[in-house]
Structures are given as structure tokens and as C-alpha cells.
A and B are shown apart, each in its own frame.
Chain A
């Protein structure tokens, strides 16, 4: 048997290689035209030309800007409101009706208002991204705080940390941190899923570049940016996992 760490690298890599092989074979078989399925072997050339004319770097930087602004805004507000609601049952009752109305509205449905409020701007894209990220973090931190062992709250009171701020800092937030961090992580993924859509209506970034390319039927460029998003997501996720592993060292 392979060692565990090796297997966890080798098997996923093998899956990706298999996908590329099937994809390339399908594209070259002539069953479908290269526009319908651009072969992956054309992606490096597309990448080279996109980098050479400066589009790739600019699009990635723009999208990263929207992404981090939106994720930060949505995460901070989502966690803050989720924790508040979990600690204040009366406030929870007050706003539960509002949540029911707003929750099912997909982030993209906010695009018209985003444009009216912020114009075709970076802010509009960040706003749309923030909405999806907000809900994930809101529900994750709400349930993480609600699930805290009541005995630990009593412990905090017994040892002089009954007031709101010390109770939050010393018990509530650390106890809820595994749940809050897994919400943050899910939000990081949700953020990339919304980035492209948020840019489709003309805000510069990966999404806009994909729209331009698809208008020219340059599907290899579209695939290039799809893979770019996958790469950026993987980097964010791996970085976050490494950080939260350190933060949660006490659990391992």
C-alpha cells in the first residue's frame, strides 16, 4: 500500500490526468469541432497569448480585487450578524421573518440593484459576491454559536468572564471557531462561483474577458479562464486550510 499522504496526492492527480486524456481524445477524434470542445493542448498557447497582450494579468488582478473585497465584506458581516443573533434570541425572533424573505434570493438577482446603487463599478461586483458569502457565513456562525456547550458558558461566568466581551473572546468565539472557519472556507468557494457572474455585465475581470472571448468563439480562451478560476480557488482554499490547521491545532 502507498502511504496515506502519497495516495492523497497521487489519486487526485491521476483523476485530473484521466480527464485531460479523455477530453483531448474527444476533441481530436473529430466527433465535435474544436470550437465546441477546444482540446486542452491548445490552452497553453491561449495562455501565452493572453499573458503576452496583458489581458490575463489584468483580468486576474481585477477579479482578485472584487473577490477579496466581496469575501471580506460578506464574511465579516455574516459572522458578526450570525454570532449576534445566536447570542440574542429576541433579536433572532425579530429578524427571522426578514431572513426568510431575503435568504432564497440568489446573489445574481441583486445585479440590477448593484448596478443602480454602485454603477458599473468594482463596488457593484464586490457587493454581489458579498451577498452569497454573507449567507454562508451567517448560517455557519449562527449554528456554531448555538451549538456551544452551555457548561462552558457557565464556566466563563464562574471564573469572572460573564460579561459579554470576555465571554465572547474567551469562550464563545474559540468554541465556535471550527464551525465559523468551515463557513469561511465554504464562503471562499462560493465567492469564486459568483465572481465571474458578477463581472459578466461589464465590470473588468475574468468574467468580462470570458464574455469577450465567447463572443469571438475563442473557446480555448474561455477554457483558459475556467482553469484560471479553478487554480485561483485551489490556491485560496489550500492557503486557508493551512492557516486554519494552525488555528485549530488544539483539535488535532
Chain B
């Protein structure tokens, strides 16, 4: 076993302890007894079959769904003008009636009183994703990849400790997806944000993350926790990554064989 168990949560940005979630009016638990810690400045990917509860997990951490058991401990620095977590969605969910900069400012409203400062922070976030020049355009004038980058900038603008990314690149074409993966890694290297990244694409997970957590079963539990030690910058075709992906793939297969009902 080369599964990694976190010794402690001292250096974690978020720690989940025996987390359980059932939707109201349903006995069927989506998550149960889930323990997971995301280290500060770490990049953790969560993979698993669709419907296993990966997105649900992000929503619990973001505070959008109350857990029905266990706890979510966010070790975020309580500072004014910031939010502890920020979500990036699969469909970027830009507000079509706001220009690009206005969309990026959304999370700053009610957080930063000064209009000038909101604008400055939005432009800085857009600059991080290479879209400063598009600040005054409408979302409909952008390409799919640009829109997704605006979604990322909107999350970065609130200067979160933890970025929660919900299959952010899965709706993009292969070339754009790879470009955005590299851009995300560059942003991550510059900002040192902790990232929890949900995807169903194993190759994407092993390319991006320090650690890949495989969820399976119903209620979902951690089937495998694989550390990806490959040095950065990585090559997508590296045998080391391919081997890691294969190990996770096998774990997924074993889970099926055990009748986990994935």
C-alpha cells in the first residue's frame, strides 16, 4: 500500500472528520465517515465515478450544504476582505448582465467597501488569468476557455485560503483544457492557494495534484489515497504519472469487484 494517511491536521487548511451527508427526506447517505485533510498550499484531486458525491463534498466544505454528521474544520485565517473558500464551477456561471470585471467583483461586494479597491482586486485577478484586457467585455463575447478563466478569476478575487474546483475544465475541448490546466498550475505556483479539485478525469488528476483521492461506494468512502510525487513541471506523458493513474484505475476496478456498487 502506498496510500497516504495524514499524520495530523496541524498543517491542513481544511480537515473533514467522519463527515456524513444525507439529503433531507432521504435515508440514503451520500457521504459517511469521511476523513480527509487538505494540506496548506497543497493540491488535492478528488476522483470517482459520476454521482459518487464529489461535487456534494465540495458544497459541504463551501458551506452550501450542512453536513448531517461529523465536522468540517476550516483553518482559514479570519481576515476582513477575504473569504475562506471560493468555488469554481463546471459551467462557469457568469452573470450575463455583468461585464467581465463586474462578474469578478461579485464576491467582493459586501466584503470590500471601497468600489475602487473592488475594481483593483478584480483587475488583478483577471491579470492572473491573462484576461485583464477583456475586463469590459460581456461574458457572451468570450470563448468557453476565457469564460472558465473568468470563473477562476472570480474565485481568486476573494483571496480564499482554499479553492474548491468542481470539474472546471470538463466541458472544454482537449486543447483548451490542457492550456487551462497549465494556467491553473501557474496560478497555483504564484498564489500558493490550497486547491481541492474534483474531476472524473484520472489523467487530469495525476497531472495536476500532489495527491489523488478516489471516492467510491454509496455512501462514498475513500477507496484510495494516492500521493503523486512526480517533480514539477510535469510531462503529461510521463510513465510515473501513467503508473499512478493505473494504480488508481485498478483500485476503482477492485472496488467494483468487491461489489461496492459504484
Which chain B residue shows the least CB distance to A149? B93
Pairwise interchain contact A171-B110, C-beta atoms closer than 8 A: no
Q: Which B residues touch A151, using CB under 8 A?
A: 89, 91, 93
Contact pick for B64, options A158, A161, A174, A251, CB 8 Å: A158
5 additional contacts (CB under 8 A) given A158-B64, A166-B109 = A155-B106, A159-B106, A159-B154, A161-B109, A175-B97
Query: Is A28's CB within 8 Å of the partner chain B?
Result: no
Query: Is B118's CB within 8 Å of the partner chain A?
Result: no
Interface residues of B in 86-136 (CB under 8 A from A): 86-87, 89, 91, 93, 95-98, 106-107, 109-111
Query: Is B158's CB within 8 Å of the partner chain A?
Result: yes
Would you give the shortest CB distance from A160 to chain B, in whole angstroms? 5
Query: Is B188's CB within 8 Å of the partner chain A?
Result: no
Contact pick for A155, options B89, B109, B158, CB 8 Å: B89
Query: Is B62's CB within 8 Å of the partner chain A?
Result: yes
Pairwise interchain contact B93-A161, C-beta atoms closer than 8 A: no
Which chain A residue shows the least CB distance to B90? A151
CA distance A2 to B84 in the complex (A): 59
Pairwise interchain contact A157-B64, C-beta atoms closer than 8 A: yes
12 contacts between A and B (CB under 8 A): A157-B64, A158-B62, A158-B86, A159-B106, A160-B83, A160-B107, A161-B106, A166-B110, A171-B95, A250-B98, A250-B138, A250-B140
Pairwise interchain contact B97-A160, C-beta atoms closer than 8 A: no
Query: Is A42's CB within 8 Å of the partner chain B?
Result: no
Q: Which A residues touch B62, using CB under 8 A?
A: 158
Number of A residues with CB within 8 Å of any CB on chain B: 17
Q: Chain A, 155-181, contact with B by CB distance < 8 Å: what is the 0/1 string?
A: 101111100001000110011010000
Query: Is A241's CB within 8 Å of the partner chain B?
Result: no
Pairwise interchain contact A155-B97, C-beta atoms closer than 8 A: no
CA distance A81 to B193 in the complex (A): 44
Q: Which of A160, A166, A171, A251 lies at the interface centre, i.e. has the most chain B CB atoms within 10 A of its CB?
A: A160
Known contacts A159-B158, A250-B138; is-contact A152 B93 (Cβ 8 Å): yes
- Across chains A and B, which 4 residue pairs bring their CB atoms closest together, nearest first? A159-B107, A250-B97, A155-B93, A174-B97
- Which A positions have Cβ atoms within 8 angstroms of B? 151-152, 154-155, 157-161, 166, 170-171, 174-175, 177, 250-251
Q: Which B residues touch A158, using CB under 8 A?
A: 62, 64, 86-87
Contact pick for A160, options B89, B95, B110, CB 8 Å: B110
Would you give the shortest CB distance from B255 to chain A, in whole angstroms? 30
CA distance A251 to B140 in the complex (A): 9
Would you give the shortest CB distance from A167 to chain B, in whole angstroms? 11
Which chain B residue shows the least CB distance to A163? B110
Contact pick for A154, options B64, B86, B154, CB 8 Å: B64
Would you give the shortest CB distance from B112 to chain A, in whole angstroms? 11
Would you give the shortest CB distance from B84 to chain A, in whole angstroms? 11
Would you give the shortest CB distance from A1 to chain B, in whole angstroms? 29
Would you give the shortest CB distance from B163 to chain A, in whole angstroms? 12
CA distance A157 to B62 in the complex (A): 10
Q: Which A residues touch B107, using CB under 8 A?
A: 159-160
Interface residues of B in 166-182 (CB under 8 A from A): none
CA distance A174 to B87 in the complex (A): 22
CA distance A251 to B96 in the complex (A): 7
Q: Chain B, 216-249, contact with A by CB distance < 8 Å: what is the 0/1 string?
A: 0000000000000000000000000000000000
Would you give the shortest CB distance from B158 to chain A, in whole angstroms? 7
CA distance A250 to B87 in the complex (A): 25
CA distance A120 to B138 in the complex (A): 52
Which chain B residue shows the least CB distance to A251? B96
CA distance A159 to B62 in the complex (A): 10
CA distance A251 to B109 in the complex (A): 23
Interface residues of B in 28-86 (CB under 8 A from A): 62, 64, 83, 86
Which chain B residue shows the least CB distance to A250? B97
Q: Which A residues touch B111, using CB under 8 A?
A: 160
Which chain A residue shows the least CB distance to B85? A158
CA distance A157 to B205 in the complex (A): 27
CA distance A88 to B111 in the complex (A): 27
CA distance A215 to B64 in the complex (A): 68
CA distance A82 to B87 in the complex (A): 31
CA distance A242 to B243 in the complex (A): 62
Q: Which A residues touch B110, using CB under 8 A?
A: 160-161, 166
Would you give the shortest CB distance from A171 to chain B, in whole angstroms? 7
Interface residues of B in 135-150 (CB under 8 A from A): 138, 140
Q: Which of A159, A160, A177, A250 lies at the interface centre, i.e. has the most chain B CB atoms within 10 A of its CB?
A: A159
CA distance A250 to B98 in the complex (A): 7
Q: Which of A155, A166, A170, A171 lies at the interface centre, i.e. has the most chain B CB atoms within 10 A of its CB?
A: A155
Which chain B residue shows the least CB distance to A155? B93
Q: Which A residues touch B83, using CB under 8 A?
A: 159-160
